[in-house]
Amino acid sequence: MANSPSQIDTQIVDVQSSEVESQLSSLVYDMSQQVHMVMQNMLKMIAEIDQNSSGIMEEVEKCKNLAFERKKSLEEEKERFQKAAFAVLDMLNDRD
């Protein structure tokens, strides 16, 4: 039994639809794979940034502590110089 023209047209449309669906499925799969790889790379970069920022924060804290100690030392030295200067001034005032 021969196929009528409308049946052939329907079969052609079905084949074309199947091919389009297959191409779309392949495209969606490829895109999802690319998105997955990009997300993995982003997660790696985020982990690296977190690690680096932790190291930076530790260094900042060390520098802050060193600066505080240096400030304290300078303030103590300033007090000693002020006491010495006042002592010299007192000695000079007593000579008059």
Residues 3, 11: contact at Cβ < 8 Å? yes
Which pTM value belongs to this model? 0.51
3-class SS at 45? Answer: helix
Domain ranges of the chain: 28-95
d(CA 80, CA 88): 12
**Per-block mean pLDDT, blocks of 10 residues, the chain (96 long):** 62 74 92 98 96 94 98 98 95 82
d(CA 22, CA 85): 92
pLDDT value of position 94: 86
